[in-house]
Structure 1
Amino acid sequence: MLSDGAKIRALIVDDEPSARRRIKQLLARDAEVEVVGECTNGYEAVAAINECAPDLLFLDVVMPEVDGFEVLARLQSERLPLVVFVTAHAHYGPQAFKIPAIHYLLKPFDRKSFATALERAKTKLASARGSELTRALLEELRAHANHADRILVKACGRHFFLKAEELDWIEAEDKYVRLYVGRESYLLREAIGSFESRLDPKTFPRINRSTIVNIDRVLELQPWFHHDYRVILRDGTKLMLSRNYRQRLAELLGSKL
């Protein structure tokens, strides 16, 4: 419980229904915790945090459009709850950021690891230092969180690096991603969600479920059928922008769609 004896108000943010359900079931076992809401994306999360003012946030890192880090960046400092990051990507663990004090749960997690994270959160919240600690740790996280500058690829029997800035666009192909660089393309064995998490979201936004684009390559947006848009790149490549990803791209381009 909190220092004043009140229940801990928890908010769950994850785009995977099974993950939200798992966290909610585990929290339901604890009489000291009250789940005040569930969110399926970053936009909902920002609104819910501002409205509900939760004490504890279980936050997925990789989500479409607005990821976990962007959610926190959009909050006022006085609104920051204590954060437990939930991720399926090991490179988002504490060693990657060199910040061991922030909580991380690596999917799939068991009851023991969840209980450990929850107890650590309770301890900090009960000490009335939770919000101050969270603010300090998030500032440190933002300072250390670096996106990949180089991508290792294999072609013609050799391995070499591509600079992230050289990528024009990326397309999902089942469990692979195809990287387009000028007239060349390279196939990489990695799911698009995982690959997306290694890129700077301000430079490489998702424009539909299977496509990421380098925003510096965007030349034009053309209205298309059913309120969708076509994204025209500088080399003439035509890609589709779906409605679910339109708002994020508009924000990055500084325009309304």
Structure 2
Amino acid sequence: MIKTLLIDDEPLAREELASLLAPFDDIVIAAQCSNAIEGIAAIHKHKPDLVFLDIAMPRISGMEMLAMLDPDTQPKVVFVTAYDEYAVKAFENNAFDYLLKPIEVPRLATCIERIRKAHTPQDLSAITPQALSLVPCYSGNVLKVLKVDDVEYAYSDLGGVHVATDAEVIHTQLTLKVLESRTPLLRCHRQYLINPAAIAEIEVQDGGNAEIITRGGQTLPVSRRYLKALKQTLGFY
């Protein structure tokens, strides 16, 4: 079962979404909330797997609420909104999906199917050695095997997990967590890993964030959460 919260300041919108979710037997609505404060409290209480979250809410928006959650423990968040201009920012903030009101049933079904797959991820531990020297990747019907040393960075987005070399960006079925724990790649952002050998410089910004400039000229984000550990690993104290 997928424990779910609905957070929207409009009661009719919550009722409509609950009705649309009713045919999905594995979606169990644990609570409905009318604002972000109630939503955060409900997340701490129920520890849901999934949250459907409105963006345009009074006082604290859905986007602001998502930023308050711990990215390492937060549930999967699907934004539900009448405005499409927030989509890019939503995915930058680690949203799982983005649905436009009025919600279309086929689009909702696609979202739920993705959630189901993510909720029961394939166990790679039995087939993946403790230390990876090769990264299995794919491009359409072509299977590729990359040397870990050739990977400059890896990142995740709506399309999955991707690894980048100096020549190409390609998909992999490995998760960022597996890559982080079993390769030399270092976490620099909740959606990015970096090969320390690919770092040319780190530009520290106001507010505690930073940017990595790779030797290939790419710019990657560094969040305040990971900057200190990254600097220490590289020998900066």
Please report the TM-score for the alignment, with normalisation by the length of structure 1.
Answer: 0.45
Higher relative contact order (CA 8 A, sep 6+): 1
Comparing both structures, which one devotes a greater share of its residues to helix? 1
Please report the TM-score for the alignment, with normalisation by the length of structure 2.
Answer: 0.49
